[in-house]
Structure 1
Amino acid sequence: MHITRYGRGIKKAAIIITAVTGFIVAFSIPFYTKSMLDTKVGYYSISINGVTVGAANSVNDVNEALANARKKLSAQYSSDVYMNPDIEIVEETRAIANRSSVDELSDDIYSYLFDNVLEVERNFDYTLKVDDYTVTLSSLEEVEDVLNQIVEQYDTLSQYKVTIASSEKIDSGYVVNLEKKSESNQSSDIVAAAIGGDGTTVNEATDVTNGGITAIEFKENVSIIAVPEGIEATASVEDALSQLTEEKTVNESYIVAEAEDLEFIASKYGVTVDDLVKLNPLINANTILVEGDIITVPAKETILTVVTTKQLSFQQDYDVSPEYTDDDSLSKYNNVVTSEGTTGQRYTEANIVYYNNTEMTRSYVTVGMYVTTEATPASISVGTLSSSSFTRPLATSVGTYKSGLFDDGSLNGVIWSVDSGTDVLAANDGTVTKARWYSDYGYVVEIKHSDGTITRYGYLSELSVSEGDTVTKGSVIAKTGNSGAASDNELLFEIWKSGVSLNPLDYVNKN
């Protein structure tokens, strides 16, 4: 069969097209395949303690899965669950990726945490911190039991309970709260103590109607820290209770308030008048105290202190504050009653603050107070003469006694108001150890005496002595002024011994 010229042309074109197509395909396939291999998948994996647990499409999916796994674990335990794993979420780009749904990844994370990370409450002990004091118990229930037993000693109406809650601010820590019960037992009565304050001395308290505790708290900072089991020695509930409530006697200074006497103060601290006399050599059982006197008392301290505020209403006998008159013919603490007052009677209400069982403050509610018999004040002559070898640092006719208290409540010395430029006298023989500007004292003179005491004279305007000088009692050592922290023209006078401040009015005359 013969092939025409046209047919031969068609055949030739087909051959050429086939060849060109094959050439194109031969060169195109490698480039296309390489492009396909270079296409990578973006996703996020999660590793726990260095072990890859799974992956998901987005970081939000991973975080949601992690949160669901933690929630699932926590829901299975009535107590707290402790987990502190090293978790890392990393963006990945790989050609082949095994990615899970949120639910699938959550199950994988849950399984890993359960098998490798989970620690439950039984693996921890609990350290109770009271300020800087610590005691460790085996469970939160034991800690709560100890604290509730302490509170119950003072919450006689069972109005409050201790609760423990996790603290977001403290790692593995808890805070302690005192919460009022929804239904408090009001059947018991608290009899108002027959003691006074704020201008009255209560001689008798009867017909008590009790409003119960209005507030309760711990005086110290109280918190709880979870510690791995066995790290700290644990105490039993009984031992911890004993440690926290053991009473220790600490002598401290007490400022006598108006209308308080030795019998009242002794009753307040649970001791006898003789006990107070032994601690205060300058007084005896018949001493009449006046407002502002400073005596030593034996205070009871515990590691943990319960502060309660009670609101009490009662009928009481009461005395008003005496009227005091300085008597320059009487020695210090030899005060004399020149006229007896009379006792009144009233119905009243008071808010009383206790540290454990010791009354600290009493605030009477005057609104609605019903007085049936008015009280009248006694008159007392207050001795101002000192029997010591020291002399007043001002001439007896100069200056007016101003105060024994500073603005911050400290009791280091006394102040006399006096014209600037008045002579300041050495209270006793001695050697000048300071004669210069000295902080808030302004210009100051300090003298050391043979018995080890130190007298200090502050707020001066001029100095008449130099450091190292020997001075005699009554000699002029400076001029008064208003330097340093003085609020007016005045003289600050202090007496110190062995680093402890003494009451200057026990050594020098007030007027």
Structure 2
Amino acid sequence: MIRSSCFDRLRTVAILHTAAAAVFFYVLLMPGFRPFDIIPGAGEVVTVYMDGVEIGTLNAGIDTMELYREARREFSSEHGKLVFSEMPEFEFVKKAAFFCHTDSEKEITAKIKSRLESGIRDDLAPSYSIKVNGTVVTVKSAEEAGGVLKSAIERYDRDDAFDIELVKDSSREFNVLIPKIVDKNNSDADLSAPLAAGAGHIEEDLSVCEFKNSGEGFDSFDYCVNDIAFSDDVEIVESYLAAGEAADPELASSMLFDLQEVQQIYTVQKGDTLSEIALTVGLPLDEIIALNDSLENENSVIHPDEELIITVPEPELSVVWKETERVEEIYDLPTEYIYNDSWYTNHSEVITQPSAGCRDAVIMTTRMDDKEISREVLYEEIKAPAVAKVVEVGTIIPPTFIKPISGGRMSSPFGRRKKPKAGASSFHKGIDWATPVGTSVYASSGGTVVKAGWGSGYGYVVYINHPNGMQTRYGHLSKVYAKVGQTVKQGEVIAASGNTGVSTGPHIHFEILVGGTQVDPMNYL
């Protein structure tokens, strides 16, 4: 009885499973019934999210962005005017599936368009952006943009001879205007091309101030602003901003033409000092130190080619202009040089002292904003002639000096010291480096060996005379390889270090002499 009951229950379950399977496949085959898709191939689908909201699932092979473009076309066609909507962010999540409900392309397109409708911006108004390199300043209208640029040239256009015209750039897809600076009295003269700092004169057919006649003399010139231009390319681009976000013209002008602190790099030149650099760039020394981690204080050591950060006040956009002026001035002539091929470059002599002169002259001056960049004398009448300074200079590069050993520890610097032992001097005339006996000793600079052998308290020594009159000495040597009269090159091995003469331990003693007097070698190495 129990077995029969168990058997009946098993048979019932089997019948139910069979019936369910039949219903399942029947539903699959019913026309028009599609609760899910049978995904072909590997069975990959993509769930699409728009601004974080799920909008549907597609087969992996469908181009969702093409559906987005189609939604935009429909969106624009229905509105029939320029409408702004927030740019959506899409996210795509791919997954494997064999049976999965997917949305049709039409359904996804409709959902995207619905999301675009919800993002319509009706608070945007037309505006115009002035673009200079990477700087963008936006005002309400093209007229305001032109007025901002006109206000800059008015600072230097004393005779109100120039104007700004905005010309549409037909090569651009969007509405882009190019400001042209024109002469009011000569509309064909386009002066808007950027002028590089220190650029030469404009071409004759673009000159605003022409000579009155071909004869020379002060009456042959018009004295006025000849040329005016912006230092960089400028364009005005139509854009859209929310009400109240555009800058007023006065603020826009300040943002473009007022001085701003701009970081630049100054490369240290030979002979530079921190105080001289501060004077050259017009920046307080403590500010230069604060900007550069490599500088601890005003006594920090700087080296040629080292780069220092400095801040220079500069506007985003400058006005470059040229003016013809008549001036009576004190003037100097440029220095004249006589080159002597038998002197070193660090040797010079003044042959003639300069004397300033006086002249009445016509000057063409080029300025960037208020800073003079260059000037050219167009005509002059000398009242008192100037005398040029004449300097004779050498052309031969002087010898350099290197440390005479590799490694070693400085055990005694140049200058006064406590006597290390009896017989030693209390004033040290060179530098000592502690180093093992037998260390190679190199010629610090090229020259001729004038002594090689025993040198009393210095033990074994080598003396080398150099072409510029200086001499180097190497003492307490264990071996001497160089010979008197031998010409050696910089870096050539001349001896081996030792512990000979009056010495407290293995080391090399090194001297540099200028005019027969020992000097601190560290100033030359």
- Shared fold (TM-score greater than 0.5)? no
| Structure with the larger RCO, 1 or 2 (CA within 8 Å, 6+ apart) | 1
TM-score (structure 1 length as normaliser): 0.37
